[in-house]
Structure 1
């Protein structure tokens, strides 16, 4: 790396660090006032206000409460998109933070408040470097990621029109703040949803022979679904079938008439994902019939496996190494958790990576994402802002790394 580039990198990190107080204050404001998927109106209004204050034109109402803002460079060129999500989770916060959620039953337990703050920081860094951009940066602030609906809706509303590449990140509390993690190939699993309705014939719990018990049938289905993974899929092709809710009956001495199950299916291969619906339909129908019940399965495809484009991954890794040093980047472990950023990657080349948000010591023992005691170490905010800005700067300055 030459001396001029060293200086530019140092300046980017220094400016990002200078913004850390502002980014932290905004992140805490969002953390205190979380909004669930499809309810992000106040969050979106606060973001739009700050984008307009930077001189950007903001298109609101994209895919619900999502927003788009474009930053035009000084020269023509490609369009690179940067994305952050904004929604919270229906979780009661159990931290003792002074800025803990003020809204009962709602919490930013996945750090989307931090992602939003980081992207706003990247906007600040890039606006002041507009003259170095040959092309356009598109900033995507997405709603409804937690229910796997926001990316699809934004794509439908034209968020990717004219976009050549897209980049995004997610904080990871089990990785020390300041580190990044990337992976070639599958990084995150596909996500599909199961909804199973069973109908039997209700009756008195003391006279089961005069009833058809859907609860027993549902219990058998929970067990039989596991054979789709253990006996029908190669042990070298990871997959998970989890039933997360089981609803049946209200009284201890009544056999219910109906039972309802909901669950999730995760895979690491598009081919495995494509075959899961048939497997599960067969198992549900056969098991229900064996117990004389009628079954209806709704199989809802939500997001594909998340795989970064190899070229874009190389570009991102080169940018991160130049910015932070190669010793600050590690290989990411694969996870069955899903991310609807994968839908963007189906449409245009791009890269998604992890940004550490945990303690410097014993990060792997920190509370994970979606935990009521999740805690984000805020020194990651300036790092995330600088990382996103650096990737866009490199891609729009004619670099051909990776």
Structure 2
């Protein structure tokens, strides 16, 4: 019997529950919750899992949920993970099931991920006798603020886990397709917070002041030299200052200025070198403008690097399930994902699942856009692929 024929029952199971998955996902979409506030979402997930017969551990790393499925025979433990949180974005999709909560939206599709993993949990229940080992289902809080995975790990979610797998929907890839990549897939995420202290005064008498606004402007521009003149052009790095706050009126030189930003890299080696560069440049530029500077450099998540063996396993599973012609090589991106923290602890693979229209997906609204939407046919496929990845790894024959 071929691998494709072995996976067909899982694909059929996913397809049969499509209407149920769509209904559940739309309910989550109407009622999004921000990071570490996912109490209602977690309660709905736990209720569904318990109805299936799972023992559920709640409140893990915030509102995270852990549930295990023990197979018919002993073997390794494979974890499957989904995230549950939404974003502080006002939805503009125009969908009949759009967010009912002003300023909060599932603009990244975590409602779909949660639904897919619930579907996988249900599918695998029907194939328990084929499992040699254990499947652990992780429903995670607070991915959007890069804190949920760390909290889950600290509270034991990975204890005893041998490998971990996860996926992310991609609206610019057509539904029915998937994308994988060996090595680095997504960038590291660091946050910088800079405070400048000068000497306030009258805007018409700048010589009697020390202007932190001018210093801040010079720092914003000067920090770009850390990328353009200190790092190889073959090592991708993005340094963005996203906010700059100073003063309250037009004719006063303020006493302080502050800014925050993010740094993304595609190499663990480069990520490790960025703090020294930023602290040095900020301090020296501030000194040149007679200001005092303080830098808080916060390392949030590492580069997301899949394990080659696990990536190969996912590729074989995808090819058997939907055909190799529906799998492409994923382009690298400097967007971050705290799934990378799990991959620092155990081997695994993270892959993209197409959620865009069959025609013109490349022109679809991207992740974090207020008009973001998914093609819901990706829900049963995502559930079946997650189940297949685990079952292929743990198949008892």
CA shift for structure 1 position 8: 3.1
1:216-255, aligned counterparts within 5 Å? 216-255=214-253
Aligned with residue 184 of structure 1, among 182, 185, 192: 182
Structure 2: segments with no counterpart, 5+ residues: none
Query: Does the 8 A contact of 2:131 with 2:396 survive in 1?
Result: no
CA shift for structure 1 position 203: 1.1
Rounded to whole Å, the distance in 1 between the matches of 2:232 and 2:149 is 31
Rounded to whole Å, the distance in 2 between the matches of 1:10 and 1:350 is 24
Residue 285 (str. 1) matches residue 275 (str. 2): no
Deviations 1:118-156 (A, max 9, x none): 000000100111111000000000000000000000000
Matching residue of 1:14:
12
Residue 275 (str. 1) matches residue 273 (str. 2): yes
Rounded to whole Å, the distance in 2 between the matches of 1:248 and 1:173 is 38
Matching residue of 1:393:
391
Rounded to whole Å, the distance in 1 between the matches of 2:302 and 2:379 is 28
Structure 1 SS opposite 2:210: coil
Matching residue of 1:35:
33
CA shift for structure 1 position 6: 3.9
Rounded to whole Å, the distance in 2 between the matches of 1:269 and 1:222 is 23
CA shift for structure 1 position 206: 1.1
The two structures have a TM-score, normalised by structure 2, of: 0.99
Structure 1: segments with no counterpart, 5+ residues: none
Rounded to whole Å, the distance in 2 between the matches of 1:218 and 1:20 is 53
Query: Does the 8 A contact of 2:130 with 2:396 survive in 1?
Result: no
Matching residue of 2:332:
334
The two structures have a TM-score, normalised by structure 1, of: 0.98
Matching residue of 1:157:
155
CA shift for structure 1 position 178: 1.1
Matching residue of 2:71:
73
1:46-125, aligned counterparts within 5 Å? 46-125=44-123
Rounded to whole Å, the distance in 1 between the matches of 2:396 and 2:292 is 61
Deviations 1:286-334 (A, max 9, x none): 0000111111000000100001000111111111111111111000000
Structure 1 SS opposite 2:207: helix
CA shift for structure 1 position 168: 0.2
CA shift for structure 1 position 362: 1.3
Rounded to whole Å, the distance in 2 between the matches of 1:9 and 1:260 is 55
CA shift for structure 1 position 204: 1.1
CA shift for structure 1 position 9: 2.1
Query: Does the 8 A contact of 2:189 with 2:263 survive in 1?
Result: yes
Rounded to whole Å, the distance in 1 between the matches of 2:379 and 2:60 is 25
Rounded to whole Å, the distance in 2 between the matches of 1:14 and 1:394 is 16
Higher mean C-alpha deviation, range 335-344 or range 248-257: 248-257
1:286-301, aligned counterparts within 5 Å? 286-301=284-299
Structure 2 SS opposite 1:229: helix
